[in-house]
Chains A and B, each alone.
Chain A
Amino acid sequence: EVQLVESGGGLVQPGGSLRLSCAASGFTFSDYFMDWVRQAPGKGLQWVGRIRNKANSYTTEYAASVKGRFSISRDDSKNSLYLQMNSLKTEDTAVYYCARRPIGSRNLDYWGQGTLVTVSS
């Protein structure tokens, strides 16, 4: 069974940093591209960014609103995805989901349950 489990959310002050993790199981994690998507309270979905697999040199893509502040990485030996968030703003408050993109497809077919990040003083 495919499972994605996010962790690391919490309360952080504006300007602070936080690192989210996503633990994957039930599939060959190293083969997949992985994404982060967020959802502000009561709002819609917003794509945050993507990291490709080793065959694609672990390259990344980011939304303009987080580029330069957020960094996506992965550790295939630990089946884990990470989101390093720096210089956090109140508008970064959201539930953060990790999601996988299957090989040969552009769809995000499985999502984790999400972890809440609250940026507030």
Chain B
Amino acid sequence: DIQVTQSPSSLSASVGDRVTITCRASEGIANYLAWFQQKPGKAPKSLIYDVSSLQSGVPSRFSGSGSGTDFTLTISSLQPEDFATYYCQQHNSYPLTFGGGTKVEIK
């Protein structure tokens, strides 16, 4: 199975900050990496797929980059509604696997 490691597991940031979350796969996954946002008690929401494609309706302050095994989610200017937990997921091969999550908290 492909292991997906996210870092950091949590971070504190202020409104307006630039935030970066990284995801590393245990082997190459081409460009098949997605990012999801989850708020407490809610279902995950798709943000980005295929490394850098923005899901319809997602603000442009979210962006994704990377290739091979190393990937990044960037929030260019953190907004109050962005405080949540973020997960990456590889969808290159079965079983699909998720990173452990990054909780973004208010500083």
Give residues in A with beta carbon < 8 Å to B.
Answer: 35, 37, 44-47, 50, 61-64, 97, 105-114
Q: How distant is the Cα of A84 from the Cα of B55 in the complex, in angstroms?
A: 31
Contact B44 A107 (CB under 8 A): no
Which residues on the A side are within 8 Å of B97 (C-beta)? 47
If A44-B100, A44-B101, A106-B50 touch, whether A111 touches B95 (CB-CB below 8 Å) is no
Chain A CB within 8 A of B62 CB: no
Give the contacting residue for B95; candidates A64, A105, A108, A110; CB below 8 A: A64
Contact with A44, one of B32, B42, B50, B87 (Cβ below 8 angstroms): B87
Tell which of B1, B43, B49 touches A106, judged by Cβ atoms closer than 8 Å: B49
| Cα separation A109 to B35 with both chains bound (whole Å) | 11
Closest to A45 in B: B98
Taking a contact as CB atoms under 8 Å apart, the answer to whether A45 and B49 are in contact is no
* Interface bracket on B: 20 to 34
For the complex, is B46 an interface residue (Cβ under 8 Å from A)? yes
Contact between B95 and A45, CB atoms less than 8 A apart? no
Whether A47 contacts B95 in the complex (CB less than 8 A), given A108-B34, A111-B44, comes out as yes
Which residues of the partner chain B approach A45 to less than 8 Å between Cβ atoms?
36, 38, 44, 87, 89, 98, 101
Q: Number of contacts between A and B (CB, 8 Å)?
A: 60
Contact B44 A47 (CB under 8 A): no
Top 3 A-B residue pairs of the complex, sorted by shortest distance between their CB atoms? A107-B49, A47-B96, A106-B91
Whether B45 pairs with A107 at a CB distance below 8 angstroms is no
Offer 26 A-B interface pairs, CB within 8 angstroms, sorted by A.
A35-B96, A44-B87, A44-B100, A44-B101, A45-B38, A45-B89, A45-B98, A45-B101, A46-B98, A47-B96, A62-B95, A64-B95, A97-B43, A106-B34, A106-B49, A106-B50, A107-B55, A107-B91, A108-B46, A108-B91, A109-B46, A110-B46, A111-B43, A111-B46, A113-B43, A114-B43
A112 — which chain B residues lie within 8 A by C-beta? 43
Shortest distance between the CB of A34 and any CB in chain B (Å): 13
C-alpha spacing A18/B21, complex, angstroms: 37
A44, A62, A107, A114 pick with most chain B CB within 10 angstroms: A107
